[in-house]
Amino acid sequence: MKIRTVLLVVCALLLSVIPAVRAQDDVFRVAAVAPSATNDLAFSQSMFDALTLIDEEMGDAFEFVFQDGTFVVDDAAVALRDWAASGEYDLIIAHGSQYGAILEELAPEFPEVSFAWGTDVNTFGLENVYAYTAAAEEGGFINGVLAASISQSGVIGVVGPIEVGDAKAYIDGFQSGATYANPDVEVLVTYIQSFSDVPLATEAAAAHVANGADVLTGSAQMVVGPIAVAQENELAWFGTQSSQADLAAESGVSFQVYRWDVILRDMIENIGGGVLGGEAYVLTLENGGLEIQVSESLDEESASIVTETIAALTEGIVSGEIVVLPEDPMATPEAGS
């Protein structure tokens, strides 16, 4: 009886110690939580694609787990705490601005674990927290210029989720770019106050079409509805966050794609060197974190014009010649050039 008790105590002690010991091998392990599905064609997929790319690059030296569909913050908190307590992960990513408060509370409890979160630039002054965001207004500006250039009616429809974060940045940039290309263009913007309400987003896009829009864009995972509206009405579609080329096969023109892998490589290197956080990253056109992809469905001539326009605008934005969001919320050709 005594031996059994001693064994039980020893086992319990071992179990309590083991999780605190980080896996001692050469594998870099990442755990990530995200609010929507890994195939949402938007925000969560952009991170999943980036981790998959890193996984392919690093092979056996990299592993990741991804918990998607965790829109409920409390559920995410449980996962994040479990991962941190397990000691198995070199980097824990909270991919969503709604997770900031959790991370601010959690990170000080696990100073040996590196955390990253976004989209935001606030590391809370903690040395084990990285923050990241995307200058989505840059790609929004380019998409806006292209949209205004091809619109025959001079009316463009935008369907947004909630007026915050990178969605707002994209839409602000889009409006600015559209006005930059055509000061008389009318940009109709509806924020539906939901990231996931596809039926409502669909009707919002339909309302824009009824009001004369012949070009559509939008941000967040509910854009699958507006894309279907664009396809049905044979209108042009501009996307952001991830490539939506497959779904918008006939209507897609260009897509701003978040390349989180650019900053993840840097984080991995830093963590390997013992720097667990304290830095904020921003995806930009300049650092290659924002990539504007041209739809393969465009004919050769159109694709060439679009590609050239993207290159010229990218150069202007990177050099500072074009101010994407001037103090005046609507850029003008005079202000921008």
Partner 1 sequence: MIEEIFTASVFASTLRLATPYIFAAVGETFSQKSGVLNLGLEGVMLMGAFAAFYTVYATGSVIIGLLAALIVGALMGLATAFISVTLQAEQGISGIGIYLFGLGMSELLFVRLIGTPVSIDGFPRLYIPGFSDIPVIGEIFFNHNLLVYAAFLLVPIAAFILNRTTFGLMIRAVGQNPEAADAMGVNVARVRYMTVIIAGTLAGLAGASLSIALLNVFQQNLTSGLGFIAVALVYFGRWTPLGVLLGSLLFSFVNALQLQIGSIGVNIPSEFAVMAPYVITIIALVFASKRAEKPTALTKPFRRGD
Residues that bind partner 1 (CB under 8 A): 36-37, 39-41, 69, 157, 163, 188-194, 196-200, 202-204, 206-208, 210-211, 221-222, 224-225, 227-228, 231-232, 246-247
Please report how close the Cβ of residue 249 comes to partner 1 at its closest, in angstroms: 8
Which of 145/227 has CB closer to partner 1?
Answer: 227
Which of 39/337 has CB closer to partner 1?
Answer: 39
Which of 44/133 has CB closer to partner 1?
Answer: 44
Please report how close the Cβ of residue 211 comes to partner 1 at its closest, in angstroms: 5
Please report how close the Cβ of residue 243 comes to partner 1 at its closest, in angstroms: 11
Q: Which of 181, 166, 100 shows the shortest CA–CA distance to 136?
A: 166
Under DSSP, the state recorded for 72 is S
Under DSSP, the state recorded for 81 is H
The side-by-side arrangement of strands in the sheet containing 91-95 is: 62-67, 28-33, 91-95, 114-118, 129-134, 280-283
The encoded tokens of residue 294 equal: 């041209």
The helix-helix angle for 224-232 and 198-210 (nearest 10°) equals: 40
* Position 308, amino acid: E
Please report how close the Cβ of residue 250 comes to partner 1 at its closest, in angstroms: 9
Length of the chain: 337
Which of 228/290 has CB closer to partner 1?
Answer: 228
Which of 7/164 has CB closer to partner 1?
Answer: 164
**What is the phi/psi pair of residue 320, to 5°?**
90, 0
Please report how close the Cβ of residue 193 comes to partner 1 at its closest, in angstroms: 4
52, containing H or E segment:
helix 43-58
- Note whether 82 and 75 are within 8 A (CB): no
Please report how close the Cβ of residue 290 comes to partner 1 at its closest, in angstroms: 22
Which of 52/284 has CB closer to partner 1?
Answer: 52
